Amino acid sequence: MTDKRASVSSVSDRSEGFETQSVVDDELKKTLGDDWDEVSNDPAQLEAARFLVTEAKQVSNGIIPERYTQITDYKFCGPVFVYKGYPQPANNCPWCLNRHAGLPIPRADDD
Ligand SMILES: [Zn+2]
């Protein structure tokens, strides 16, 4: 548990400069709706929620999130980065939404 909290907060630190905290929080309020009050009063929940929103925004901007360290060859998207433990084999990967929306997909074999 301690490890998880540490990693969540360090990823959030590294994401500085990509999205400001207030932009992330605006997004969270929209996503959480009535749950926002409860989450915003719990620092651990708030940090975890910020982490997930930040990561989702990175993916939709074609940026590989910090914890996406594993390369897997998916049926539709090809070799892409996913987080360790992402279900496989699978046809769909975290980047499929980008493929459907015409957004960038950073390929593992790009550079
Ligand atoms: Zn995919």
Q: Residue 95 C-alpha to ligand 1 middle, in angstroms?
A: 5
In whole angstroms, what is the distance from residue 111 CA to residue 81 CA? 13
In whole angstroms, what is the distance from residue 50 CA to residue 55 CA? 8
Specify the pLDDT at position 111: 59
Q: Residue 34 C-alpha to ligand 1 middle, in angstroms?
A: 32
Which residues, at least 6 apart from 100, have a Cβ–Cβ distance to it below 8 Å? none
What b/e sequence results for 39-48 when a residue is b if at least 16 CB atoms lie within 10 Å of its CB, and e otherwise?
Answer: beeeeeebeb
The region of weakest confidence among 16-25, 32-41, 54-63, 75-84 is: 16-25
Q: Residue 18 C-alpha to ligand 1 middle, in angstroms?
A: 24
Record the pTM.
0.69
| All residues with CB under 5 Å from ion ligand 1 | 74, 76-77, 93, 95-96
Report the first-to-last Cα separation within the chain, whole angstroms.
36
Q: Residue 52 C-alpha to ligand 1 middle, in angstroms?
A: 19
Interval 48-104: pLDDT, tens = 999 988 999 899 999 999 999 999 999 899 999 999 988 876 788 999 999 999 999
